[in-house]
Amino acid sequence: MKKNQPTGNEIRQSYIDFFIGKDHKFVRSSSLVPGGDSTLLFTNAGMVQFKDVFLGIDNREYTRATNSQKCMRVAGKHNDLDDVGQDDTHHTFFEMMGNWSFGDYYKKEAISYAWELLTEIWKLPKDRLYATVFEDEQNLIPTDEEAVEHWLNQPGFNKDRLFYIGRKDNFWEMGDTGPCGPCSEIHYDLRPEEGPVTDKSILDTDRFTEIWNLVFIQYNRKGPDQLDPLPSTHIDTGLGLDRVAAILQNTDSNYRTDLLFPLVEAVQELSGDTDQEREDNFTPYRVIADHARAASFLIADGVVPGNLGRNYICRMIIRRGYRFGGHLGLHSPFLAKIASVVINLYQEAYPELKQNRKIILDTITREEEQFQQTLENATLHLEDMLDEVQNQKQTLLPGEKAANLYTTYGMPLEITRDIARERNLQVDEEGFHKAMDQHRIISGAGNAMGDVGGEEVEFFRNLLTSLQENGKLDSGGVGYHPYDTLTRQGKILALIVDGEEVQSAGEKKSVQVILPETPFYIEAGGQVSDTGIIEGKNWKIVVNDLYQPAAGLIVHQGTILQGKPKVGDAATVKVDQVRRMDIKRNHTGTHLLHAALDQIIGEHARQAGSLVAPDHLRFDFTHNQALSAEEIKSVEEEVNRRILEDHPLAITHKPLQEAIDEGARALFGEKYGDTVRTIKMGDFSYELCGGTHCERSSEVGLFLITSEGSTAAGIRRIEAVTGRYAYQLVQTRFEELKTAAQYLSTGLDQVAYQTNALLELQKMAEKSRDRLLKKLAIIELNQALENLEEVNGIKLLTTIVEDADLDTLRVMADRFRQRVSEKGVVLLAAVIDGSPRMIAAVTEDMIQIGIKAGDLVQHVATQVGGGGGGRPGLAEAGGKDPEKLPEALDSVAAWIKGKLQ
């Protein structure tokens, strides 16, 4: 990079500053994990956080926005993984700069802003910029002549650099239905010396880089053939920061910009390659730089390696990066070294990297260590499988084999595919997914934009509009007042039964009720919705759920308990107060728990999910090992200490940035508006939170942890109870203790001591019983020795000893040999834990004539379904069928006779 060229950080800032100068509001990048959208695996474009605004189910306080958005394109509709490492312009993780207009400016401004920034601020040569506009190859949607006109008006824009392109690249759709419209792409000519471009397909070659896409949202798609004009039109644009940096820094590859080259250099330092060697083998450098950057950003956003969905992607990215290290001779964990360069490089723009430095580095290294242990075996195994495929003159590795490699060795499909491709073979991916179905990897990511409401949203939006037009609701919609009183009055504005508006509804009907305002809390931030009742003269509705299908519209979902409510009836809405109090204790308890974990486990213990219900709370957090009993106890003690200290909860509203700068904790994967609500207790707990809370910590009452466990790799879960439920728990436990004390005939404080004493006593009793049994066995043996059976002059003892253990049998066998010094054979058996065990011993002279303990024991053991052996003088064996023992023992005399012949 030359001195006068802007750095990547400067380019990012200049984009943002340019649009702030055009009255845009800077909005922070949202998390890579899309808030409240389980169908979309990762944020893959800048507009994801504004999707609901385009859909009309969310409002913002501004109509112009700009930002740099963290994006991942590694799954679902947008998957660029195959290009990463192969080309110089696609990454898994990248930053997309964007500017938006929500019903504000349109094509004219969008195009001229883009042109101004590119040619006047960044001073790109005008003759190297090309634009595309939409022309429908199916002739159903009008050509975007409006955009053409604005392009032709740009100072210095040459009409020969404008091309008409069809649906695939120039018509942008969110999903099968919903907002959509034509777009206009801006391409940069990397090799103008090749002369004027006449054929538009050249734009798709490596002579050009697409840098910016301007999307003009003007239609609402209702179905395959129905496009309705939207009442208001929007702008959504996306520009790849790495690509622009490559151009402004005058280099031929995104990887040679100051946004990625430091990572390449860090890899080179480890590999020890010369510059020439690096250039000759650039692919692994690209992959490692890309994947180390992606993994760092993922982990900073709370995505840790695992087997499912997002976690799987994090695992795959790290493992794949690690394996490419092998191409450079790196065979032990090294990615954390590259990740630390990522953190240094990006921490200013993305402070979450700095905050999570340790967990990023530790997580990456641990994942590499785990994979290091199996990679070699997995590769050998795969090579064998690929040999087989080739020997059979096939080209496709069966999917279940690839699945097997993942389940036994943790070898991700993407790596199996890499290795197969290195030998010109493919993997049956459909078969892989079928085999892995229970893992549900990557599935659910099919529709890149998630579900888009459809008819229901439409219905409620129309309802809202008509209520507003009739003056029943003001522009703010239904009043949402969950924080002050628990009761509100108002007239029923609308009743909906089975998706249709009705004037009245009768008993037992399931009904949706719209009121001018509500004191109910709507599920958010893990806290469940309130329940309660709506009642009027002679009627009553039980409300069991609440939701918001469109911005400004709140729906009470309930069942009519009695009477016949009508639209226009005066109504009183009441939240179930007892339940609400239980909920708020759990919510305040959750904040206290979070703070205690911070203090005792460490700051890396970040919230990864939470449930605040009336009867318990659940808190998931990032941490790599089970909490010890000691830690659990300390956490519980700390929470109860804070409860008793009786801290007031300070609730304030302030700008998001200010709250974050003050150190308030944001919830992972949550969407925040511009002004946020913050909740603070003392100097130990400060969170962004829209939930309902106690006024003072002491109202939580008592906090008890009921379980600690794991939900996914790197994520722990604590469940706890507070207030009434904690009291109930103590009460039940107390009752159990009382019962135990009664059994022990002792006081409550003596239960542990007495139980322990009882157990000691039992152990002693068992010991003396064993001693007695042994003594008894010896006495029996002595008696038996008095009248031994003789077989051809050999003294033989075979017997099943009751209640003996192996040790007893050994003592008895020794005793036999002491007493019978010659011509003696003994076989002692016992049934231990349901299985026959036996010991055989013979005197020395017997061995000489071929009667050996090892053979004898073998002879007997095979008859009881077992085997064994040992030295000629003494041997042991076991079997399976105790009921065959007597017969087997009876056969010994005949066996000896056989040996003597």
Interface contacts to ligand ATP, rule CB under 6 A: 45, 73, 80, 90-91, 94, 96, 210-213, 238-240, 242-243
Closest contact distance (angstroms) between CB of 45 and ligand ATP is 6
Pick the closer one to ligand ATP by CB: 134 or 212: 212
Closest contact distance (angstroms) between CB of 337 and ligand ATP is 24
DSSP state of 663: T
In DSSP notation, 526-571 reads: TBPPP-EEEEETTEEEEEEEEEEEETTEEEEEEEEEES--BTT-EE
What are phi and psi for residue 773, nearest 5 degrees? -60, -40
Pick the closer one to ligand ATP by CB: 90 or 150: 90
Pick the closer one to ligand ATP by CB: 212 or 261: 212
Please tell me the distance from the alpha carbon of residue 586 to that of residue 643, in angstroms, as a whole number.
12
Pick the closer one to ligand ATP by CB: 246 or 494: 246
Closest contact distance (angstroms) between CB of 238 and ligand ATP is 3
Please tell me the distance from the alpha carbon of residue 345 to that of residue 95, in angstroms, as a whole number.
14
Please tell me the distance from the alpha carbon of residue 804 to that of residue 886, in angstroms, as a whole number.
16
Type of residue at 89:
T
Of 258, 312, 265, nearest to 288 by C-alpha is: 265
Closest contact distance (angstroms) between CB of 131 and ligand ATP is 12
Closest contact distance (angstroms) between CB of 217 and ligand ATP is 14
In DSSP notation, 320-351 reads: HHHHHHHTTT--S--HHHHHHHHHHHHTTT-H
Closest contact distance (angstroms) between CB of 672 and ligand ATP is 24
Closest contact distance (angstroms) between CB of 448 and ligand ATP is 10
Q: Are the C-beta atoms of residues 457 and 55 closer than 8 Å to each other? A: yes
Distances (CA, A) of 550 to 59, 481, 487, 555, 559: 10, 17, 23, 10, 22
Pick the closer one to ligand ATP by CB: 238 or 519: 238
SS (H, E, C) 395-418: CEECHHHHHHHHHHHCCCHHHHHH
Closest contact distance (angstroms) between CB of 240 and ligand ATP is 3
Closest contact distance (angstroms) between CB of 80 and ligand ATP is 4
Type of residue at 191:
R
Pick the closer one to ligand ATP by CB: 168 or 653: 168
Pick the closer one to ligand ATP by CB: 43 or 678: 43
Type of residue at 233:
T
Please tell me the distance from the alpha carbon of residue 97 to that of residue 244, in angstroms, as a whole number.
10
In DSSP notation, 823-880 reads: SEEEEEEEEETTEEEEEEEE-HHHHHTT--HHHHHHHHHHHTT-EEEE-SSEEEEE-S
Pick the closer one to ligand ATP by CB: 243 or 693: 243
Type of residue at 894:
A
Please tell me the chain's helix, strand, coil percentages from 3-state DSSP, rounded to the nearest 5: 45, 25, 30
In DSSP notation, 228-271 reads: EEEEEEEEEEEEEHHHHHHHHTT-S-GGGSTTTHHHHHHHHHHH
Pick the closer one to ligand ATP by CB: 13 or 562: 13
Pick the closer one to ligand ATP by CB: 349 or 778: 349
Angle between helices 629-644 and 577-600 (to 10 degrees): 120
Q: Are the C-beta atoms of residues 455 and 534 closer than 8 Å to each other? A: no
Burial of 126 (0-12, 13-18, 19+ CB in 10 A): middle
Token pair listed for 843: 């005197």
Closest contact distance (angstroms) between CB of 17 and ligand ATP is 19
Pick the closer one to ligand ATP by CB: 219 or 521: 219
Distances (CA, A) of 540 to 497, 598, 727: 16, 46, 33
Q: What angle do CA 335, 296, 594 make, to 5 degrees?
A: 125
Pick the closer one to ligand ATP by CB: 290 or 699: 290
Q: Are the C-beta atoms of residues 388 and 381 closer than 8 Å to each other? A: no
Closest contact distance (angstroms) between CB of 186 and ligand ATP is 8
Closest contact distance (angstroms) between CB of 390 and ligand ATP is 33
Closest contact distance (angstroms) between CB of 545 and ligand ATP is 37
Closest contact distance (angstroms) between CB of 73 and ligand ATP is 5
Strands (E), 592-637: 607-612, 617-622
Pick the closer one to ligand ATP by CB: 64 or 90: 90
Pick the closer one to ligand ATP by CB: 57 or 246: 246
Type of residue at 140:
L
Query: Count of CB atoms within 10 A of residue 284's CB?
Result: 21
Give 504-510's long-range contacts (Cβ < 8 A, gap of 24+): 504/564, 504/565, 504/566, 504/567, 505/560, 505/564, 505/565, 506/560, 506/564, 507/560, 507/561, 507/562, 507/563, 507/564, 508/559, 508/560, 509/559, 509/560, 510/557, 510/558, 510/559
Closest contact distance (angstroms) between CB of 82 and ligand ATP is 11
Q: What phi-psi label fits residue 477: left (phi over 0), alpha (psi between -120 and 50 degrees) or beta?
A: left
Q: Which strand (E) or helix (H) includes residue 641?
A: helix 629-644
In the chain, how long is the greatest CA-to-CA distance?
A: 124
Pick the closer one to ligand ATP by CB: 45 or 217: 45
Pick the closer one to ligand ATP by CB: 48 or 546: 48
Closest contact distance (angstroms) between CB of 453 and ligand ATP is 23
Pick the closer one to ligand ATP by CB: 84 or 827: 84
In the bound state, the residue with its beta carbon closest to ligand ATP is 240
Of 778, 833, 786, 783, nearest to 805 by C-alpha is: 833
